[in-house]
Amino acid sequence: MPPQRQLVTQLLQQWGSANKEALDELMPIVYEQLRRLASKCLRTERSDHALRATALVNEAYLRLVDAEVAWEDRVHFFAVSARLLRRILIDHAKAHKRGGGAEKVSLDEAMLVGPQATGGILELDEALQRLAAHDERKSTLVELLFFGGLTYDEAAAALKISPATVHRELTMAKAWLHRELSHGLS
């Protein structure tokens, strides 16, 4: 394991053991990657989206600080962070929808379902919930890769499966989501 990844894992474990100084040391190390993840998530949002990457990371940070999680390693941290970023975007979309606007998100065609699929983050969330009811691991895999920005190898490690299984299951999840989201557009 590269030294920085090892350091992140050590700091996460220390933070999980109630060492608050470890959190202070950890955040500058992981901040840029969290910001890149947030930027990636926001790239698929509409251009006038109220949230910016920094605000999204700050909101995630506030929620992470209060989280009581037994951190396993760096991959586990970013997997939880991915789920948290998704939850924040969904909460924001719900609040925006209540305010009257319809939030659109164009899914990354290489990552998910193809160029014709445009739908709101809420529709994506609902489709991922239906997928989770059908196959939790495939839903989690999409979340880790799309929202979390994990690599195939990192997602494989987080889910304790092989990278080949990641590829196979992602292919099936993409097809399933494409069908679900396409039916919503008809």
The pLDDT mean for the chain works out to 78
Region of residue 132 (phi > 0: left; psi between -120 and 50: alpha; otherwise: beta): alpha
Quote the tokens at residue 27: 């955040």
Cα Dmax for the chain: 53
CA distance 117 to 185: 8
**How confident is residue 79, by pLDDT bands cut at 50, 70 and 90?**
confident
Task: Indicate the domain borders of the chain.
Answer: 3-185
Least confident residue range of 15-29, 70-84, 90-104, 151-165 = 90-104
User: How large is the average pLDDT for residues 62-73?
Assistant: 83
Quote the tokens at residue 36: 């890149």
Tell how far CA 16 is from the center of its chain: 21
**How confident is residue 61, by pLDDT bands cut at 50, 70 and 90?**
confident
Q: Are strands 105-106 and 118-119 parallel, antiparallel or unpaired?
A: antiparallel
User: How large is the average pLDDT for residues 160-185?
Assistant: 84
pLDDT over 50 at 186, yes or no? no
User: pLDDT tens digits for 34-59?
Assistant: 888 888 777 766 665 667 888 888 88
User: pLDDT tens digits for 112-170?
Assistant: 333 333 446 778 888 889 999 999 999 999 888 877 778 888 889 889 999 889 988 98
Give the predicted TM-score (pTM) of the model. Answer: 0.60
